[in-house]
Structure 1
């Protein structure tokens, strides 16, 4: 019995995630509310960006797998850099709106201690996602996460987790979750999430 239940639980979890993403996909900002539930110490500014103080940041779960270009990537290996994680899908209009800003900022920070990683989700195959990256000149890799498993299991409950598409999380140099946005970002807002973390000792 236990062998038959395990796959059902996995299917149920994936089904719940798919429903959640469908409801929140391409949604706007969080209206100043902190996500995750429970007793949190997140601060959300008027621009909809939530942050956690240095001593109160959580470590994400395993964020690793195959990229859209078929390589293996483990986000843990980027520790020592500020890491920008952006959940996106080629089907998402706000993702298309923010893509040029992400491409520009990623190029501007190249070689300066900042790494960008996309989390491509809900694209049933890689072709539309690869076309998206080519169209917008995306210079960084994206993990291929069609069922959203990395988004579901990569962020502990009660943390600044990715919710909806697009959403962005920035990890500090220690690999901890420091900032999150649940909306499409322009260049100014994206830089405002990165630059304070670059200055941290």
Structure 2
């Protein structure tokens, strides 16, 4: 029962992190935003916890998994089309993903609590250049329970080459903060 309560609290925190209503979807004109400052917190290697095995359906078909990128640095970004800070940070993520891909860094989006048609429209507009897991029920976020959970939408996690959570940002990331953290983890 305790695990179920914690799971429900995590989902509630994620949904209310950006905006939303009791149903998990924002209402027209809803501009509430409770989030972090977007600063990247990098964890010392000895403090890092293993990332859970995550996998899910890609927005554009197929399957996306963390295991497919074993041995690489992976940036996981939790987003939703209805989240204004997510839309604001999308160009930053796209740019850093393009600039670091040749260095062995992979990006994966996790579309959370969203309508699939809205998420696909967002991807057509933003053209991120990397896949997103369609995670309407929030199972991917729940998999991080007991590690370093994404606690707001947007949230960004950096997974190191050993599969450990190396960094986290709550809120919309800034270009310099994200790129510096990605390069630091990549160059370890």
Shared fold, TM over 0.5 = yes
Q: Deviations over 1:15-56 (max 9, x none)?
A: 5444222332243316xxxxxxxxxxxxxxxx7322211122
Q: Which runs of 5+ in 2 are unaligned?
A: 19-32
Contact 2:36 2:152 in 1 (8 A): no
Is 1:19 aligned to 2:5, yes or no?
Answer: no
Q: Residue 28 of structure 1 corresponds to which residue in structure 2? A: 35
1:116 maps to what in 2? 107
What does residue 43 of structure 1 align with?
Answer: none
Q: Which residue of 1 aligns with 2:63?
A: 72
1:48 maps to which residue? Answer: 39
Select which of 53, 57, 62 maps to 2:53: 62
How many residue pairs get matched? 173
| Counterpart-to-counterpart distance in 2, 1:167 and 1:13 | 19
Whether the 8 Å CA contact 1:87–1:165 is kept in 2: the answer is yes
SS in 2 for 1:150: helix
Aligned pairs (5 A) from 1:1-201: 15-25=8-18, 26-29=33-36, 48-124=39-115, 126-153=116-143, 155-157=144-146, 159-200=147-188
1:165, distance to aligned residue in structure 2 (A): 0.1
**Secondary structure at the counterpart of residue 110 of structure 1:** helix
TM-score (norm: length of structure 2): 0.84
- TM-score, normalisation: structure 1: 0.79
State the superposition RMSD in angstroms: 2.0
User: Distance between the aligned counterparts of 2:47 and 2:142, measured in 1?
Assistant: 21
